[in-house]
Structures are given as C-alpha cells and as structure tokens.
Amino acid sequence: MTVELQRTSALSSKTPSVQDLLRTLVGFDTTSAKSNLALIAFVEDHLKDHGVASTRVPSPDGTKADLFATIGATGAGGIGLSGHSDCVPVEGQRWSSDPFTLTERDGKLYGRGACDMKGFLACVLASVPRFKAHKLKEPIHIIVSYDEEVGCTGVRPLIARLGADLPRPRAVIVGEPTSMKVIDAHKRIDSYRTRVTGREAHSSMPEIGVNAIAAAAALVGELERLGADIAARQNDPRFEPPYSTVCVGTIKGGTAPNIVPKHCEFQWQVRSLPSAAPAEVPRDLSAFAETALLPRMLQVTQEAAIDTETQGSVPAFVARPRSEAVALALELTGAKHTHAVSYTTEAGLFEQAGCPSVICGPGDIAQAHAADEYVSVAQLDACMAFLAGLADTLSA
C-alpha cells in the first residue's frame, strides 16, 4: 500500500494511486440494475481535475450514462480505451469481505467489479496525468459504458455517434479481464424466452388438461440434445469449449401440485462460434415443438401454444485481418500470439461499427462474476505498464 502510494506520487502529487481509484470505483454499487451516474460524475470530475472535458451519452430514461473523453490532439483517429462501469449482482454469493469495500489480501484486491472491469478503468484514470504529460501526436479516447453485463446494450447509443458528433477511434482496446493476453475473437450470444401455454385441469384428470410444465420439460430436453449434437459436430480448437453451447438458465411454471399447469416459461442462451449459424438452434427447437408436441396439445385445446422470442443478441467478435488494434496490443504486451475466448464483450459492436478492436485488460476472467472477485496488484501493474507504453507509442 505504502509502496504503491510512493510510486504514484512520483508521477503526480495530484493524482490518486491506481489502488485509490479502484477503491473509489468499487465503492459505487453499479450493479447493472442500478444507476451508474455517481460513478460517471466521479470520472468526469477526475478528468476535469486534469483539464480533460468529457461528453455524457445518457440512457433513454436518463438514469445511466456512457462517457466519452479525448486527451491529446483533436481530429480523426486516436486509440479508444473502453470499459464498462456496471457489474453483476452480489446477491446469493458468500463474500469474505464487503464486496463494495476494496480489500487487499496477499497482493490481491477484492471487490465486486475489481476484475470485471473497474481494474482497467482505474488504470486508465490513473494514467491520465501521464497521457497529459506526453505530447500525444494522436489522441487517446476514454470510453466508459453501462449495461454491458445485461447484453452490451448501453454502449450502443455511444457507438452510434462515433464518426458523427464524437470522433471515431482508429482502434479500440476493450479492457475486459484477459490477464493482459491479446484476444482477437469471441463467441456470439443469443438469448431467448420460450413460453408454453397449456390448459388447466384438476390433477386427478390430467387427460383433459395440457401440462405446460411437461411440454417445457420436453423442450428443455430437446435443447440439451441439440447442444450435445452441436458439441459432437463442431470443433474450433481456438475456443474453450471448441463448439457452440446451449444453456437453459431459468424456468418457472405452475401454481399448485394439484393443478395441471397452464403456464411455463424458460430462458435460454446459445453461445455460438463466430463461424456457426446462430439461427440453427431456435429453428430446430421450433421444428421439434411443431412436430412432437403441438399436435397433441392442440387436440385438447386450441389455446395451446409454444412461443419463443428473442431477448437480445451480442455479436461475435472476429478482428479483421491485419487489424491495427491487434497489432498495437501485441506490440505493447510483447505477446507473440492472440487468443480467442467464449465470453462476449463490446468488441464485436465496435468492430461492426468500423473500429478495429482488440480485448486486453488486467485480471483473470475466472475471478469475474464470482464471490471474492479480485484483481491482483501485479495485473494492475502490468496494465499500467501497457498504458505507459501506449503513451510512448502515440508520442514517438
């Protein structure tokens, strides 16, 4: 702790250390369901203290905001440093210390979001004096988003303004936890909700009812079968696991044990390889419903139905060939190889919008979302060195 403070004070007496900044960021409970405006105001003030103006991109209901700020030369190009401000809930998790109070144990800094991904944001904010001190020939853009954890929705209105009233970076580094490895591809997510409508009846006469839970169970079984079939067919060794995956995440239905249930619904996701056809699983499920379930259900009641609706999608990310973002991250980390991951990020959205992107940030994804989430001091140091290298590169 003392060592860290001394190290930073050599850079600027005005700037809090990366750990102080991380402590403040973790202290804001920015669970996706809550407002992030207090955190955004803090980041704005921090930037303003260093003479950096920023632009808020508010959410449609005004309870949240993205932030965009530019350091250095104005005009086209520049490198975007992008991180989300929201974090996943702590409910139901057993933490050894208060999740919103950054706590150090054995070189690890524990707190909700410490790894995913306030650690990266803290490094970026701590590097602002360095960015300012360098004569940057090309700007650095700081991008802070909201609602990443609930489908990467919050960054979309900001991305829509890139190249319009906000400058479009020539490359974007998304600082999700990769243990500072360079990631140039990730899977896609499609989320669905399937609703089954049957017919209520006394449980002593199930034949005059249509059991929505039983039909839902058959559909869930079919999804498991489809998932196993995909696992046997697909094999892209860059990904772990090397195939698209199917997961049913919630299910609810029925009212009492002695009533044939009329309603049941479940939510499920497909995480597809970038090369896979994402519409395949919902199409196959609907074919199963129409041939194996619905004819029998409709014989009992015309009200019987099985409806699947899309709840959201996050595009896959595949860096373009000879991506300048990937080249930059490889140069700054000294890594020889890139990797692919199975979780999703905002990188696919930036890439789609014409900004070459790469994912590289401090902390291990294994710690993200878990109880006792942490980022190690060593990882923060590595990210600070990475950002110092970026400042050197852009001012050379």
Positions that interact with Zn ion (CB under 5 A): 116-117, 176
Active site residue 280: no
> Which residue among 29, 44, 66, 86 is the active-site one?
86
What sections of the chain are H helices per DSSP?
A: 2-11, 18-27, 37-49, 119-126, 128-133, 156-161, 212-233, 280-288, 294-300, 324-333, 347-352, 377-395
d(CA 44, CA 38): 10
The residue behind tokens 């995440």 is 249
Q: At closest approach, how far in Å is the CB of 365 from Zn ion? A: 8
Q: Are 391 and 136 in contact (CB under 8 A)?
A: yes
The residue behind tokens 């060939």 is 321
Alpha-carbon separation of residue 263 from 75, 165, 213 (angstroms): 57, 48, 7
Counting Cβ atoms within 10 Å, is residue 341 exposed (0-12), middle (13-18) or buried (19+)?
Answer: buried
Describe the crossing of helices 119-126 and 18-27 by its angle, rounded to 10 degrees.
130
Looking at beta carbons only, is 176 or 222 nearer to Zn ion? 176
Q: At closest approach, how far in Å is the CB of 84 from Zn ion? A: 6
Looking at beta carbons only, is 25 or 219 nearer to Zn ion? 25
Looking at beta carbons only, is 117 or 326 nearer to Zn ion? 117
Q: At closest approach, how far in Å is the CB of 86 from Zn ion? A: 8
Looking at beta carbons only, is 52 or 183 nearer to Zn ion? 183
> Which residue among 20, 66, 148, 364 is the active-site one?
148
Q: At closest approach, how far in Å is the CB of 112 from Zn ion? A: 12
| Termini Cα distance of the chain | 33
Q: Are 127 and 134 in contact (CB under 8 A)?
A: no
Q: Which two tokens stand for residue 23?
A: 């402590």
Which residue has its beta carbon closest to Zn ion?
A: 116
What is the DSSP pairing of strand 171-174 with strand 79-84?
parallel
d(CA 138, CA 170): 10
d(CA 37, CA 99): 19
Q: At closest approach, how far in Å is the CB of 117 from Zn ion? A: 5
Report DSSP state, residue 117.
I
Looking at beta carbons only, is 177 or 227 nearer to Zn ion? 177
Looking at beta carbons only, is 77 or 151 nearer to Zn ion? 151
Looking at beta carbons only, is 319 or 359 nearer to Zn ion? 359
Describe the crossing of helices 324-333 and 377-395 by its angle, rounded to 10 degrees.
120
The residue behind tokens 């905001």 is 65
Q: At closest approach, how far in Å is the CB of 393 from Zn ion? A: 25
Q: At closest approach, how far in Å is the CB of 115 from Zn ion? A: 9
Active site residue 148: yes
d(CA 317, CA 314): 9
Which residues are known to be catalytic? Answer: 86, 148
